[in-house]
Structure 1
Amino acid sequence: MCARPVSERPFLRVLVTGSTTWDNPETIRRALSQLPPHSVIVTGDTPGADACAIAVATGLGLTVQRMKKNRADQRAFPGEAWRGLNERMLATGIDLVLAFHADYGQPGCARGTVHMVELAGKSGTEVRIFRT
């Protein structure tokens, strides 16, 4: 049986990732507004894109699953617990990753966002990147 394209599913589990300094809620609003009703937004616990996604998704009536770094993440990735969080968020059954980072693609920038995009690519999960 073939999987339906993401756009045809009745709801999605969507992971939002991005810059901790992201300050453009309208871009996130446009992206989340295009999701099917009852979609679930999975995101982390940082300011910027994560916090913006939580506020926008809540305003749109979407369910939000907010995840935090934990001790296991810190032990597995000393000084980079976000790597463990990224892995755990993706492992919750994500259909689509939305990445919001103005510096995505610039050398030495957007390490956490790049990490998530790479993880999603390896798992075959669709990714959409927003730079503005």
Structure 2
Amino acid sequence: MRVLITGATKWDSEAAIRRELSRLPAHTTIVTGDTPGIDAHAKVVALEFGFAVEAMKKTNADYRAFPGEGWKGLNVRMLATGIDMVLAFHADYGKSGCARGTQHAVTLAEQAQIPVRIFTQ
């Protein structure tokens, strides 16, 4: 199973991610981005569980495709790796003007009919 972890750059708790990763099957691969917060926590906790981790970084091509918003290109590329499920962690998810990157990833996943779980705490 390949699981994309996305969410807030200011997420400061590993409890929720630890809880959700404990529910995943052995041999899961965690795919995540290159920001502090949930991406950084995802890497640490996934390794604690013995999961493979694919940490992806924004590229110049991402910024060329989405000027000023390279994270959109990263979201597209992460989802294109064959994601089976998305776990999104953002306290402000659904609030106007907030969680833009997380909402973008969730929208792309939903359009691709990939199951999504959203956690606000």
Give the TM-score category using the shorter length. over 0.9
Percent identical: 64
Separation (CA, whole Å) in 2 of partners of 1:100 and 1:49 = 7
2:83 maps to which of 76, 86, 94: 94
Counterpart of 1:112, as a letter, is G
2:109 maps to which of 106, 117, 120: 120
Counterpart of 1:130, as a letter, is F
Give 1:24 shift. Answer: 1.2
Runs of at least 5 residues in structure 1 that lack an aligned partner in the other structure: 1-11
1:39 maps to which of 21, 25, 28: 28
In structure 2, what is the equivalent of residue 69 of structure 1? Answer: 58
Give 1:74 shift. Answer: 0.8
Q: Deviations over 1:16-56 (max 9, x none)?
A: 00000001101000000100000000000100000000000
Over alpha carbons, which structure has the higher Rg?
A: 1
TM-score by length of 1: 0.91
Q: CA RMSD in A?
A: 0.4
Q: Deviations over 1:62-97 (max 9, x none)?
A: 000000000100101111000000000000000000
Runs of at least 5 residues in structure 2 that lack an aligned partner in the other structure: none
